[in-house]
Amino acid sequence: MLRITNTLTRQKEEFKPLKEGKVSFYQCGPTVYWTQHIGNMRAMVMADLIRRSLEYLGFSVDFVRNYTDVGHLLGDNLGDADTGEDRMDKSAKQEGKTPQEIADKYIAIFEKDVEALNVKPPTYKPRATEYIQQIIEMVSVLLDKGFAYKTEKAVYFDVSKAKDYNKLNRQSLEQMQAGAGTGYVQDPEKKNPQDFALWFFKVGVHENALQTWPAFVSDSGEARDGFPGWHIECSAMIKTLLGETIDLHMGGVEHISIHHTNEIAQSEGANGASLANYWIHNEHLTVDGKKMAKSEGTGYALSEIVDKGYDPLALRYFFLQARYRSKQNFTWEALEAAGTAYQRLRMTLRGLKESREGSGFSEEKEIKRQDFSEQFVAALEDDFNIPQALAVVWDVTKSDISEADKHGLLMDFDRVLDLGLDRAWEQDMPSEEIMGLVRKRNDLRKENKYQEADEVRKQVEELGWEVSDTTKFGTAVRKKR
């Protein structure tokens, strides 16, 4: 029985999808105005692990991860997504490109990065600018139903009309961050300070906005140019691609207080139905115990990890060591340790592939094999406990079941973890000559012949490989960086 920690109820609940055997799953994707850092990549990997877990458990998953390419304003950094300049516009001006060229550039980088991390492509990956008509239609419905109103500057959602507006963030309106939803200027026509923009008109600070569309006629009967607010984009894409109510909605914990709270209010106002039955939120990746920040030089991109000689899947392995709803601290030492463990696991798989020896049927070993499978499933069913699932992997490698059974289990488990173990023997793996030297070195160490063992280690290094010894994972070998 799969149980999920639901942010909406603050409880771990049995998962019951709307349609038996099928799951509709939406993740808030990146705003594509710059290269995403590894904290963003962690969120993508976590969603991928959840999706793969659901598929492993027998569900068919329709998974949507969007691209925001308009309407995400810089004020969101301060907790007010209605203020500041459009991120796409700012990046376009800085690089001398159009917003679409900026989107194309950074989507290409993002897709290359997630592919390197073995993240499966979504069922759908919509861009907000492709859904302008659907956004306009949803805002029109909110206006017709009395949930929204127009001013000279924008169309706003009236939070006083929303039923249980703060049911996700569990704050009173007074507790919400000062200035949240106040608009890009103090708009005297706003009814409530917390009302948020559904659509910005091309006036005032947005008079020179680079991406606008005609919508929402003025008193003179003419459509006015403008662009959507950030929150409404997700609601329109969810409804169009997955339906009015979905099973799972995922995003970062920073989205709980405003973005997801507003998504719920506008979707449920427009559709008259719950937006999502289960809300799941991933925690942040820190660096050396501090917030990951581009301004501090710690907003590392995946390319920086690779430039330092690390396999992207070593980073994926690092991510596997913490639960999605727990913070994780990145250090280069931690990545080094993850790389060593990952390499050791690949070497183990190579050895199993080369031997694949069975030891005949044994009821006792068959029970053990089945027990490992049940442990792995139990970890996934416990709110996607990937670190525990990874621990089962290592328990399998140390067990006394047959080599063939070990290989079969690990390949099966890799359907979720996707560390590329099916290709472990193809990618930068040491030759049999290198492995022979490593075995010789280890035998000498066991005989306390450390000087001779060091001489053998030097031979390995001269051939372009590094040897490291770990208490937990034994000896690992990998190419020199």
**For 211-224, how does the pLDDT look when each residue is reduced to its tens digit (9 = 90+)?**
999 999 777 778 99
Q: How confident is the model at residue 80 (pLDDT cuts 50, 70, 90)?
A: confident
Note the pLDDT of residue 460.
Answer: 84
Q: What is the pLDDT of residues 302-355, one digit of tens each?
A: 999 999 889 999 999 999 999 999 999 999 999 999 999 998 999 888 878 666
Tell me the domains of the chain and their CATH numbers.
3-282 (3.40.50.620), 287-423 (1.10.730.10), 432-479 (no CATH)
If you average pLDDT over residues 453-458, what whole number do you get?
A: 88
Instruction: Give residue 177's pLDDT.
Output: 45
pLDDT of the residue at 178: 45
**In a 10 Å sphere around its CB, with 0-12 CB exposed, 13-18 middle and 19+ buried, how is residue 278 labelled?**
buried
pLDDT of residue 32: 98
Q: What is the mean pLDDT of residues 236-260?
A: 97
CB 25 within 8 A of CB 246: yes
Q: Calculate the alpha carbon distances from 91 to 73, 96, 102, 103 in Å.
A: 12, 8, 7, 10
Average pLDDT along the chain = 91
Residue 358: pLDDT over 70: no
At residue 184, the pLDDT reads 45
**pLDDT-wise least confident of 65-79, 269-283, 456-470:** 456-470
Percent of the chain at pLDDT exceeding 90:
71
pLDDT digits (tens, 9 = 90+) for 107-140: 999 999 999 999 999 999 999 999 999 999 999 9
C-alpha–C-alpha distance, residues 409 and 406, integer Å: 5
Q: Which residues 6+ apart lie within 8 Å of 159 measured at CB? A: 165, 173, 181, 192, 194, 195, 196, 265
Count of alpha carbons within 13 angstroms of residue 452, beta-carbon side = 12
Q: Which two tokens stand for residue 108?
A: 């290409």
> Distance (Å, rounded) from C-alpha 381 to C-alpha 349?
26
| Alpha carbons 211 and 68: distance in angstroms, whole number | 13
Distance CA 170, CA 98 (A): 40
Which residues lie below 8 Å from residue 199, measured CB to CB, with a gap of 6+? 135, 136, 139, 154, 155, 215, 216, 226, 227, 228, 229, 232
pLDDT for 356 beyond 70? no
| Helices within 221-311 (DSSP H only) | 230-241, 259-271, 302-307
Position 182 scores a pLDDT of: 44
Min mean pLDDT across 98-107, 173-182, 223-232, 324-333 is at: 173-182
Dmax of the chain from CA atoms?
93
Contacts of residue 92, defined as CB under 8 A and 6 or more positions apart, other chains included, come to 98, 99, 101, 102, 210
pTM score of the predicted model: 0.88
Per-residue pLDDT at 360 exceeds 60: no
Picking from 210, 240, 239, the residue whose alpha carbon sits closest to that of residue 227 is: 210
Which DSSP string do the residues of 129-196 spell out, in sequence order? GGGHHHHHHHHHHHHHHTSEEE-SSEEEE-GGGSTTTTTTT---TTTSPTTTT-TTTT-TT-SSTT-E
pLDDT at 114: 98
pLDDT range class, residue 357, cuts 50, 70, 90 = low
